[in-house]
Amino acid sequence: MKKYAPDTLEDATRDKLSIAIASETAEGRGPIWLDATEVIDQVKKEFPHEYQLCKDRGVDLAIERAQVGPAAHFIMGGVRIDQDGQTDLDGLFAAGEVAGGLHGGNRLGNNALSECLVFGARAGQKAAAYSQNSNNISLEPLHLNLKGEHRPHEIKSEIQRVMSDYFGVIRTSEELTTALSEINTIKHKLKDVHISSIKPYSREIIDYIEATHMTLTAEAMTLSGIHRKESRGAHFNSDFLEQMSPAHHILVRLGNNQLKVLHKEVKSDESSRQN
Amino acid sequence: MNLHVKIDRGSHVSEYHVNCPKVMTVLNVLEKIYQEHDPSIAYRFSCRTGLCTTCMMMINGKPDLSCQKNAEAGSDGYLTLAPLPKGYTIRDLVKEY
């Protein structure tokens, strides 16, 4: 890690660590190994679950190295909320990983839990108060052509493949454009799905709903990535290595089945929301 | 390796012969059954790392996490799966919380 984070080495933040591993692998110096033997007592004490998981899979970190690579672990973006978890949609509250913006370009370890505790409580209190003065909202039933061609779990796999191939740790502008094009192809497949079971807890229905959300989320992420012409935190575009100043949010809004992108400067006090 | 799987679905038991080319977790075997044999099978999971317990079920007669337990046949030659015994079973392996 001397090359990538000379001061902090392996204690670098996870965005830098992931970029380092992906760079070494991309340049043909992989695979990358984790050697925890010198600090194994600390690992056993602070990461007992991970230590046991490796051991159960045949790798004893006390005496041997483990091959490692970065994986998608957390999404920093998400639904825009105010300080009480209220979204722009009246009566819709969000908290935790589904909400965006709290962590900036890179989340620090353990902050997701405190985010859930603080914003979960705030959103819950506000939602409970809101429900005292509101009527139930009825949702439109899902109308599906069940006799189409594509199985929902296959569509999910395709989205995972596209995002892994073109929206990974190291990105290029060309890859982002390719991702968007492939997501558009996948969107059409969602209108032509094959579902054989509509019983309660049908995995096919769950997979269809998840595939729909994954496609929309992937499209919003890719569009945001294309519009962010810089590298910042976990977004590392090798065509734009520098950070832009001032920092700005990229907001994506859905209307009339189209995603619209807005840029908004990051301010220290964002209690008022204009967009 | 061919694994013979029995799943207790309340009103009946379904049997599957699943090809497992490598060591797989019980959840991976269920995914294979859903994708390749029977899309109607109902089961739940969430974290896949042994933390949330959403995927807990009876595996060869003992409660365990399907995302962590390696798929192996019991003494009768079958991998036997059933919902947890207590509480209401919504369908197949899905319990009401």
Domains and CATH numbers, chain B: 2-96 (3.10.20.30)
Q: How far is CA A128 from CA A116, A134, B72, in A?
A: 17, 10, 47
The C-alpha of B94 sits at a distance from chain A's nearest C-alpha, in angstroms, of 8
Across A219-241, average pLDDT: 96
| Residue A195: how many other CB atoms lie within 10 Å | 19
Across A197-223, average pLDDT: 95
User: Residue A45: what residue type?
Assistant: K
pLDDT band at A275 (very low <50, low <70, confident <90, very high): very low
* Total beta-carbon pairs less than 8 A apart between chain A and chain B: 34
pLDDT at B92: 97
pLDDT band at A270 (very low <50, low <70, confident <90, very high): low
Q: Of the candidates A197, A200, A204, which has its C-beta nearest B90's C-beta?
A: A200
Identify the H or E element spanning B15.
Answer: strand B13-19
Strands B2-8 and B79-82: parallel
Tell me what the pLDDT averaged over chain B comes to. Answer: 95
- Chain segment B18-60, per-residue pLDDT in tens: 999 888 999 999 999 999 999 999 999 999 988 899 999 999 9
At residue A244's C-alpha, the angle toward residues A163 and A236, to 5°, is 25
Distance between CA atoms of residues A236 and A170, nearest Å: 5
Q: What is the ipTM for the molecules in this complex?
A: 0.92
The C-alpha of B12 sits at a distance from chain A's nearest C-alpha, in angstroms, of 16
Distance between CA atoms of residues B30 and A260, nearest Å: 40
Contact residues, chain B, for A204 at CB < 8 Å: 39
Across A159-185, average pLDDT: 97
The answer to whether the CB of B70 falls within 8 A of the CB of B24 is yes
pTM reported for the whole predicted model: 0.89
Across A244-263, average pLDDT: 94
